[in-house]
Amino acid sequence: MSSFRPRIYCADAFADLEGLITERCAAIITDPPYSERTHKGSSALTTIPYASISHAQAEEIGRTFARVCVGWVCVFCDHTMIDTWSRALASSRRYVFAPIACVTIGRTVRIRGDGPASWTDYLIVSRHRTKEFSQWGALPGAYVGTRGTAPASERERQAGDKSDALMAAIVRDYTRPGDLVVDPFAGSGTTGAASVSLRRRFLGLEIDPDRARTSDRRIGDFYDSMSWLYPETKRYG
């Protein structure tokens, strides 16, 4: 994909990721399924329409991320998977940073009333040990937002999707204009929309056919609406 045209393919990240990356992957920014514990804990409040990820699966795909990406790898996870993702992303001699807290104030309440609510996801980030990345610049140690009232476009997404503002901040901080951003678990295409708005190229994978089709259309429509950012390319569609 040599142009800015974003795409989300119906594909399995475990089986198809390496085959779909045909050029320099500058960053992997993704929100994969969480652990079985988190999925079970969320079932009382929301329906999460995808399977949890095991520690073995996370290690497998994490090593693939570390191998195929020349830049930053940024992976969301819950607290039970921090060590697993960190260990996987440390392969290929990558430097793994301490987990970054991504806090959404007011996101949930503890229905049982027996302790604190879960407002925090964790972002595991890693980079190669090269001069280019050692001079990247200072970045935030946390991302904090509020739940607020989601617009219709966000309410239509599935449980677990991250906000547009959060994903835009992460894409802004860990990529440069023109970079190819890859999201192997694209979901609703939030990473793709953030990439388009910031003049990054985007490739996503989504295993569910209906969601892949809907999300590909969503970011295509968004690309159309942002065509003034891309005078050097033809309009999407």
Give mean pLDDT, residues 130-147.
Answer: 93
**Least confident residue range of 46-55, 86-95, 106-115, 179-188:** 46-55
pLDDT at 34 over 50: yes
> Is the pLDDT higher at 126 or at 154?
126
Structure tokens given for 113: 């009333």
The model's confidence at residue 160, banded by pLDDT at 50, 70 and 90, is: low
Residue 205 lies in a domain: yes
DSSP label of 147: -
User: Would you state the pLDDT for residue 233?
Assistant: 54
pLDDT at 48 over 90: no
Cβ pair 75, 49 in contact under 8 A = no
> 3-state class of 132 per DSSP?
helix
**pLDDT tens-digit profile of 194-211?**
999 999 999 999 999 999
Domain assignment of residue 61, given as a range: 7-229
Through-space distance between the first and last CA atoms of the chain, rounded to whole angstroms? 15
> Is the pLDDT higher at 103 or at 107?
103
User: Would you state the pLDDT for residue 51?
Assistant: 74
Question: Residue 216 is part of a domain; what is its CATH number?
Answer: 3.40.50.150
Residue 237 lies in a domain: no
Residue 113 lies in a domain: yes
User: Would you state the pLDDT for residue 191?
Assistant: 97
The model's confidence at residue 110, banded by pLDDT at 50, 70 and 90, is: confident
Give mean pLDDT, residues 143-161.
Answer: 60
User: Would you state the pLDDT for residue 148?
Assistant: 55
Residue 26 lies in a domain: yes
The model's confidence at residue 39, banded by pLDDT at 50, 70 and 90, is: very low
For the entire predicted model, the pTM comes to 0.87
> 3-state class of 233 per DSSP?
coil
Number of domains observed in the structure of the chain? 1
Residue 17 lies in a domain: yes
User: Would you state the pLDDT for residue 50?
Assistant: 63
As a whole number, the mean pLDDT across the chain is 87
How far are the Cα atoms of 36, 118, 142 from residue 104, in angstroms, in the given order? 21, 9, 11
Residue 1 lies in a domain: no
Residue 235 lies in a domain: no
pLDDT over 90 for what percent of the chain? 71
Angle CA 40–42–45, to nearest 5: 130
